Each structure stands twice: as C-alpha cells, then as structure tokens.
Amino acid sequence: MCGIIGYLGERPVRSVLLEGLRRLEYRGYDSAGVAFFTENGLFVHRVKGKILDLDESLARIEVSGRAPGLGHTRWATHGEPSERNAHPHLDCRAEIAVVHNGIIENYQSLRRELASRGHRFVSETDTEVLAHLVEEALAESGDLAEAVRRALQRVKGAYALAVIWRKDPERIVCAREQSPLVLGLGEAEVFLASDVPALLPWTRRVIFLEDGDLGELSRQGVRLFRLDGSPVRRPLQEITWDASQAEKGGFPHFMLKEIYEQPEAIRDTLRGRLDPESGRVDLSDAALSPEFFEGLRKIFFVACGTSYHAGLVGKYLLEALAGIPVEVDLASEFRYRDPLVDEGTLAVVISQSGETADTLAGLRLARDKGARVLGIVNVLGSTIAREAHRVIYTHAGPEIGVASTKAFTSQLTVILLLALYLGGLSGRLSPERARLLARELVEFPGLLQKLIPKVHPLLKELSEHYFRQENFLYLGRNILFPVALEGALKLKEISYIHAEGYAAGEMKHGPIALIEESVPTVALAPRESGVVYEKMVSNIEEVRSRRGPVLAFGTQGDEHLAGLSTDFVGLPPVSWEISPLLYTVPLQLFAYEMAVRRGCDVDQPRNLAKSVTVE
C-alpha cells in the first residue's frame, strides 16, 4: 500500500524523506518519488523500483534542497508501476506537488472535465486530477489550504494526501478520508506520514487525523480543519514503543524476528487480562463488562486473510467454550451479502493493521444493522479501532514483515481470552476448566520460547528436502483445520509455492486426486485430539499408499505417526484450545525457510501489501 512522508523543518530534507520512506517499505510498493525545493523551484524525482534506486539516482544528480518536502512509495492501483505513474504528481505549471494514498473514485469524469478546460495529464493515475483541481482552486483563492479544501469537495473516494506549492514554500497541506495519516511534531519542525514508524527517528509526539480532517502544517505547528472549513482539535499522543522494535534486531528478516517475538507478543497480549489463579478474564482495558454482552444471541467474525483464519479458530473456541452460535465471514463476502445481523449480534472484526478496506466496510455494515462491534486490532488509533464500539488490542507491536505472524498468534490469544470470558459468563465453562486453561495459557509463552530455537534447525533442514516442490497440500481437522489454511497461506505468499489447505475429511471428495510423489502433504495430527487423531492417521495412510510424501506435525514421542510419515516434527502436548497457537509457529518457520532457500523477498513478497486499504 502506498506510503507517504512529509517534512517541514531545518533538517536536510532529502535524507529525512528517504529515511521516512525506508521505514514505510514494509507496506509494499513498486515505485517511489520525492518532491522538495531547490534554487530553481520545485524539484521532483521518481523511479520505478526500490528506495535504494531512488537514493542512488538522487545521489547521481547531486541535488540537495530544502523543505518542505514530500516522499511517496506507490503500490499501483490505477496505471502500471512506472516512473510516469509514480508520485509526486504535478499540475500543468509544475508548481504544485501532490502525494496520495487511496483511490479517487470519480477521477475519470474529473479528468475529462479538467482536460476539456485545457489541463494536460501525463500519467494514468487517479491522483493526478488532485494536482489539477488544486491548481484551479488556487487560481481563485490564492491560499493552499483553502484550495485543497475546495478541490476535495469535488472528489469522491479514499485519500490520505499531502500538497506543497512553489509560491508558498513554508507550508504543507494534508487531508485524510479513509486512508491513514499521522502528523509528527518536533521543535520548530513538523512531519506527516502514513504510519508511525516513519516518524520515530525524529519524534514520538503524534496526532492521528480523522476522516474528513484537513491539516495546515507550518514550522510553527499544525492547524486542523474539517472539510467544511471549521477548525477542529485532535489529541496529541505520545508513542511509547521503541524505535528498535520497528527494526530487525539482528535477524536476517523482519519475518523471522517477528516469529521469534511471538512468546513476548502473546505474553504482552495476556498481560493484566488473565488471572491464572482464579481463571478469570478482565477485559476492562477494552471497557468491556458483562453488560456489553447482554442479550447476545450470535457472533460474526469478519476479517480478511490471516485474520480471517483467526476468526475460524474463534468459531471452534466460542461455540465450545461459550455455547454461542458463531459465523465466520470473509469481509469481502460479508459486505456484499445481506447478513442476518441485529441487536442480538456481536460482530467481531479482526485486523492487524486496522485499516483493511473490506474489514472496515464489514464493520460499518454490521454497525448500521444494529450489531455491537468489537474490534481485535493491533494498530492503535487505526480506523477500525476508532470505529468499533469496543477494541481489544493485540499487543504484538509493529509487524513489519508483510506476512502476518505475531499478529496472528496475538489475535488467537485475544480470541482465547474472549472465549474464556464469555464461557464464564454463560456458565458453560466450569471454573475448574477455566483455571486449568488460564494456567496453561499463562505458561504457554515460556513453552514457546524454548520450543522455537529447538524446532527451527529441524525445519531449516527439512526445507532442504522440500524446497524444490511446486505443490503442497496442508491437512488439518477440527480446530487445526484453520491452522492448515494459515500454514498453506504462509507458504504460498512468501515462497510462491502453490499450497492448499484442506479439512482432511474432504480429501476423498477431490484433492486426493492430486496425490503423487511430487505433491507433499503437511499434516497436523496431535495425539491428544482423540478421535480426530485416528481420522488424521487414516488420511495420512491414504496419502502414503499413493506415494505422497507426508510431513507430519504431531505430539512428541508419537512413534506410530513418526513411522507412518516421511518426516515428523514432534511438539509438546497441549490442550485442544491452545493447539492452534502451538501448531501455527512451526508452520511459519517452515514457510520462512522454504522462501529463504528459494531466494524470495521474504519481507516484501511480490504483489502484496502490508495494509490493504483498497478493495
């Protein structure tokens, strides 16, 4: 997803912009550009490719310059990735530079209209109309903030944008509608960015803009308005997490670092919320009390991708522990059907970024139909967090790798807490069982901390056997079926190997036709899962008898399973409720090592973005 950085102050503008853009790289992008001022006026430079390419080509031109400046990383939505389509975009006279994240829905009619009045367009983007609209409005008002405000009244769609103007080089004007934008305040300097990590080298004092806000930034500070021109105030917040948390900390990739951070992320997510002695869950930090859940008849989980898989696990947990009927929907499906949602419904929207467009639309639909909306969100101040009635934050810290790892296990942790909480309220979960589970959950991060460095070398070694394969099946049953889906998603998104997750019982209904020597099956079969274990063993036998290799993940010491499989990874026995947390982690490590062996860009897989703020 596009990333924006803006700066106005005394520091060398080029290096601030490049450093800011580097810290937004995790969002995924295909081209990049900057705009700032030189003695000759407004200078703009764009490249297709990485920030490194932008940096090198700027160094060759030997241009420095001064603030204000804007930088942008683009993830193509309108027009192919190219230098021409990269931001910043300019008006006809090259006096106004605009960077934008989002989609202008009515750009085609605006473009026709502007072209008919003589405006020249040089890109295929929706963004370019903004520069020309501001150009026209400036001709009338002569004031940049007023011109941007007027221009935006013509625009339909989503945007976070920032604008600079050659004739007013002491100002940046920015605005937000459905795309994230945060301002950073320093001493006689101001920043803006799509996300907090881009600001952390310089400031921790931030202001999150709301939809419909417009900001006028100068060295003296920030003035905020609504689009109707009325002034507005937003709270100044202090970011407490450390800059080094957003960096790789000695690991070769963010993804691996984040896999290793999971014990800590789970611990942080549990912190203050679970008493292992009594088994009681306290969600008062999310302003949740039994009244919020009164009259609850049904739960919908709504999410995308990995977060959707967390919702699927939630169905097993909440139905079993709390006895409440649960539906799980992909947000992109939920939003376009007519779900049976009413006041007795709790919609739980799950999102790491808190900005996923489909999930946000699902939230709004559920809310408009009268549901109570509970967000499970990792990013503080994100749109979903702000629009949900209540939010239980996952405390995974910033997740930089595009493939979700620690955010997922933190989501599972929150869902477990919710299941324990509602299980207690409904009386379905006995205090005895709640205590046992609470104790096991509190001890789980310690178990995982020991396990990760132990199984990692084995998975690395196994990747050597498997990395040349092009097709994988992942099989699980019951509560580990969603984990099979998640394992397959991890493998495909970072190693580009085709992988399908299946409920193992579905094998005979189609996928078994795929089995042959070159199609390995990853099977999840903990011995503690009773009858489901027996069924998994039968599925594994079916695969083996068709010469399919099987990489089985099961309970350590399970000689029978180990003997049956081609390769076996033994994991400690845990309760059914906690098994998704445990079995997810070695699958992440396996996907990671496979991708590394195949030479893939693990942290920024092709075609993917960290935060999917468009449909």
Q: Which residues are catalytic?
A: 2, 610
Q: Is 11 left (phi over 0), alpha (psi -120 to 50) or beta?
A: beta
Backbone dihedral angles phi then psi of residue 317, each to the nearest 5 degrees: -70, -50
Q: CB 403 → ligand F6R: shortest distance, Å? A: 4
Compute the least distance from the CB of residue 557 to ligand F6R, in Å: 32
Amino acid at residue number 275: D
Note the residues at the interface with ligand F6R (CB under 6 A). 304-307, 351-353, 356, 359, 403-404, 489, 493, 611-612
What DSSP character marks residue 319?
Answer: H
Closest CA to 551 of 518, 528, 525, 520: 520
Residues contacting 66, CB < 8 A, separation 6+:
13, 36, 37, 38, 169
Q: Which residue has the tokens 């709004």?
A: 364
In this complex, which beta carbon is closest to ligand F6R, that of residue 123 or of residue 307?
Answer: 307
By beta-carbon proximity to ligand F6R, the closer residue of 359 and 555 is 359
Cβ proximity to ligand F6R, 345 vs 411, nearer residue: 411
Q: Which is nearer to ligand F6R, 403 or 578 (CB)?
A: 403
Least Cβ distance, residue 612 to ligand F6R (angstroms): 5
Q: Give the Cα separation of 419 and 434 in Å (integer).
A: 10
Alpha-carbon gap, residue 184 to 222, rounded angstroms: 10
Place of tokens 């594994």: 540
SS3 548: coil
125/351 with CB nearer ligand F6R: 351
Residue 88 DSSP class: P
Name the residue among 544, 400, 549 with its Cα closest to residue 22.
400
Closest CB to ligand F6R among 185 and 361?
A: 361
For 290-317, b/e burial (b = at least 16 CB within 10 A) is eeebeebebbbbbbbbbbbbbbbbbbbb
Comparing CA positions, the residue from 396, 415, 401 lying closest to residue 310 is 415
| Owner of token pair 């241009």 | 63
| Beta-sheet strand order (sheet of 205-208) | 41-48, 31-38, 66-74, 3-8, 190-193, 182-185, 205-208, 237-238
Phi, psi of 474, deg, nearest 5: -115, 125
Residue nearer to ligand F6R on the CB measure, 130 or 485: 485
Beta strand pairing call for 221-226 and 237-238: unpaired
Shortest distance (Å) from residue 326 CB to ligand F6R = 19
Cβ atoms of residues 480 and 524 within 8 Å: yes
Q: 194 or 353, CB closer to ligand F6R?
A: 353
Least Cβ distance, residue 123 to ligand F6R (angstroms)? 27
